[in-house]
Amino acid sequence: MSHARQFVLADGWADDEASRLRLATVVSELVTNAILHARTSFVVSVTNHGESIRIEVTDESEDMPEKRSYGELSVTGRGLHVVDAFADHWGFSPNPAGKTVWAELDRDRVAS
């Protein structure tokens, strides 16, 4: 997970600490979900989409993500809620080898 954060933060996608925190949090949650739920290899990518920065995590699981309810004492189940809170848009799409879960952070909220 730390490699994914370093990968996203190393390329200067964000200059200020708040933006770096948003990017690091979103990629951490997406990667954690791939590790815990997909249990397959995965690929992290970051791209400039003009008005936004898009983070994608592609794994080999056909199980689509869903926001789950969680109990007060649950240790898991909050990941997509966190992504929803930190990202401006997020979603997922199936592909022939599994799925891609993505999140976008608007550039006007991420200094670069």
Domain boundaries, the chain: 2-109
For 61-101, the pLDDT digits (tens) are 999 988 877 777 766 668 899 999 999 999 999 999 999 99
Quote the pTM value.
Answer: 0.85
Residue 9 CA: distances (Å) to CA of 15, 61, 76, 83, 109: 9, 26, 25, 17, 16
pLDDT value at residue 87 = 95
Q: Which CATH superfamily is domain 2-109 in?
A: Histidine kinase-like ATPase, C-terminal domain (3.30.565.10)
For 24-56, the pLDDT digits (tens) are 999 999 999 999 989 999 999 999 888 888 999
In this predicted structure, the answer to whether residue 4 has a pLDDT above a threshold of 90 is: no
CA dist., res. 24 & res. 7, Å (int): 10
Give the residue among 10, 32, 36, 30 at the shortest CA–CA distance from 105.
30
